[in-house]
């Protein structure tokens, strides 16, 4: 899918008319129409406005060209840095990793569920006609991409912190302190 096709797809998927999207982004109607028809390519700032209005990641609109080992490894290293990426393998009798047994998985069940759906679809569609397969695969990929669940390594920490703060709230002595506490909590939470 082109960037324009993706903008239109996610706009309609989220129930936005063109008028609603231009109101949410500040774009003109002619600009949005040119983006959707691929007459014009949006700049990153415009893609960010569109993605924020639609509640999706800007990465949905980006194409990653992976041509070299370095390209692939840089993505894996970034995922390992920001996500709970697990590397598993078997070892030989000397304790060396057997490269053919290396697998990647995630410590986050949301990611694992989405990937399981994707792999099951790939296995099911492998025998289909190429055109039907390609179209169905694109629809599934777009459906799976339509999710802005926070999956960074800090996400569980936020949940634990919130639970701790909720436990502490009742023991704060005076109502005035509780109100200040809630304001600070709100500000910290949004910038955390």
Burial class of residue 26 (count of CB atoms within 10 Å of its CB; 0-12, 13-18, 19+):
exposed
Residues 78/81/86/88 CA torsion (nearest 10 deg): 70
As to burial, measured by CB atoms within 10 angstroms (0-12 exposed, 13-18 middle, 19+ buried), residue 184 is exposed
Q: Is the pTM of this model over 0.85?
A: no
pLDDT given for residue 166 in this prediction = 52
| Domain boundary assignment for the chain | 3-61, 64-107, 115-151, 155-191
What is the pLDDT confidence band of residue 115, given thresholds at 50, 70 and 90? confident
* Range scoring the smallest mean pLDDT among 98-102, 137-141, 185-189: 185-189
Q: What is the pLDDT of residues 68-81, one digit of tens each?
A: 888 888 888 888 88
Out of 1.10.260.40, 3.30.70.260, 2.60.120.10, 3.40.50.880, the CATH code matching 3-61 is: 1.10.260.40
């Amino acid at each position: 899918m082109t960037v324009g096709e993706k903008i239109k797809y996610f706009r309609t998927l989220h129930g936005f008319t063109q008028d609603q999207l231009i109101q949410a982004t500040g774009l003109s109607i002619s600009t949005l129409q040119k983006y959707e028809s691929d007459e014009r390519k949006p700049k990153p700032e415009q893609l960010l406005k569109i993605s924020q209005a639609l509640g999706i990641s800007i990465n949905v609109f980006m194409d990653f060209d992976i041509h070299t080992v370095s390209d692939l490894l840089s993505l894996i290293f970034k995922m390992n840095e920001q996500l709970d990426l697990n590397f598993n393998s078997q070892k030989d009798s000397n304790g060396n990793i057997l490269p053919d047994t290396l697998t990647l998985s995630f410590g986050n069940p949301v990611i694992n569920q989405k990937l399981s759906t994707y792999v099951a679809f790939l296995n099911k569609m492998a025998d289909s006609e190429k055109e039907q397969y390609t179209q169905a695969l694109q629809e599934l990929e777009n459906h799976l991409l339509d999710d802005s669940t926070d999956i960074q390594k800090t996400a569980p920490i936020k949940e634990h912190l919130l639970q701790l703060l909720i436990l502490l709230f009742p023991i704060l002595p005076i109502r005035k302190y509780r109100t200040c506490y809630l304001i600070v909590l709100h500000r910290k939470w949004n910038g955390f």
